């Protein structure tokens, strides 16, 4: 299985477990959320490949070097890599959701417009919180290289992969968080969609 396949499968797992099961979102919204997550996962895969974290670097040392390079963008080393890789997709995912699912339209009722406005804010907050959570999840078992690799390998085990798959899952999670939080607030504020 290559890196892009891991990223796509990770996106599907995150949407299925976070969005579908916990939020009970209708089919059309789930399809849109899946498309957002998959495109976000693909962006994460591209960013990872650009920094050297690719299937060609499947050794522990290769993965560690790729993570260190990605995290080095913000001066955080390998512990910051999944958050760095998740930031772009989280931003893009929130933007897509806000411009499609929660778009303001003048012909809607005041209640629907207010619900969509609250959802846009919540989606952005969910994306930021998801990126922060990605960083925290990465160092949950400790900040040493071995602990980070162990944590990512454990997370990757959900989809039958290792540390590379774990990185994809952690990087895709902020998009799912943005979708779940945004949709939850939308429904809480009386959204009808």
Q: Give the global pTM.
A: 0.70
Please tell me whether residue 74 adopts helix, strand or coil conformation. coil
pLDDT, tens digit (0-9, with 9 covering 90-100), for 15-69:
455 444 444 445 555 555 555 555 555 555 545 544 445 544 567 777 788 788 8
Structural contact between residues 3 and 47, judged by C-beta atoms closer than 8 angstroms:
no
Q: How large is the C-alpha radius of gyration of the chain?
A: 17
| pLDDT tens by residue, 139-158 | 888 888 888 888 888 988 88
Q: Which residues contact 185 (CB under 8 A, 6 or more apart)?
A: 115, 118, 119, 121, 122
H helix intervals, the chain = 3-14, 21-23, 27-50, 60-72, 81-99, 110-138, 145-156, 163-188
What do you get for the CA distance between the two ends of the chain, in Å? Answer: 37
Give the Cα separation of 157 and 144 in Å (integer): 20
């Amino acid at each position: 299985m290559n890196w892009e396949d891991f990223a796509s499968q990770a996106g599907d797992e995150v949407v299925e477990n976070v969005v579908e099961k916990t939020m009970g979102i209708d089919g059309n919204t789930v399809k849109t959320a899946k498309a957002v997550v998959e495109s976000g996962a693909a962006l994460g895969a591209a960013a990872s490949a650009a920094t050297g974290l690719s299937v060609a670097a499947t050794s522990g040392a290769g993965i560690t070097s790729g993570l260190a390079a990605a995290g080095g963008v913000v001066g955080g080393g390998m512990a910051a890599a999944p958050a760095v890789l998740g930031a772009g997709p989280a931003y893009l995912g929130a933007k897509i959701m806000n411009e499609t699912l929660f778009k303001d339209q003048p012909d809607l009722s005041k209640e629907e417009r207010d619900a969509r406005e609250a959802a846009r804010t919540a989606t952005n907050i969910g994306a930021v919180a998801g990126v922060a959570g990605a960083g925290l999840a990465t160092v949950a078992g400790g900040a040493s290289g071995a602990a980070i690799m162990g944590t990512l390998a454990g997370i990757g085990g959900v989809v039958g992969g290792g540390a590379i798959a774990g990185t994809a899952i952690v990087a895709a999670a902020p998009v799912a968080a943005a979708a779940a939080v945004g949709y939850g607030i939308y429904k809480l504020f009386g959204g009808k969609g």
